[in-house]
Amino acid sequence: MTTDQLSATFAALSDPTRRAILARLASSEASVTELAEPFEMSMPAISKHLKVLERAGLIARGREAQWRPCRIEAGPLKDVADWVEHYRRFWDESFDRLDEYLKELKKKEKKHGHK
């Protein structure tokens, strides 16, 4: 089954533990052991979550054999931000007013338009 990138990102984010891992990694990169500690989870359980995050491109892991620190990758998070931005006018009144204003402006431009 092939999944598009954005769907994989949203699926990876649909779990509170995985979001908590990202929140932890937002302050600094961390090893799997360091990540497992605060979550009181087994290493295999954490590893599974990390694999989902890694496959979605939300984190990357260092290449050192022993200590492979995890760090956040910006790309997919930016894609989420860009996606949701299209819906801003549904909750942002000031944005809505700007939108109205731009529409008004376009209408006027058409009216007095250069042909």
Contact call for residues 71 and 59 (beta carbons, < 8 A): yes
Min dist. Cβ of residue 61 to a second copy (A): 16
Q: Select the residue interacting with a second copy from 85, 99, 104, 109 (CB under 8 A).
A: 85
Contact 11, 18 (CB under 8 A): no
Closest CA relative to residue 61, chosen from 52, 74, 50: 50
Rule CB under 8 A: is residue 112 a binding residue for a second copy? Answer: no
Within residues 91-110, the interface with a second copy by CB under 8 A covers 91
Q: Is residue 15 involved in binding a second copy (CB under 8 A)? A: yes
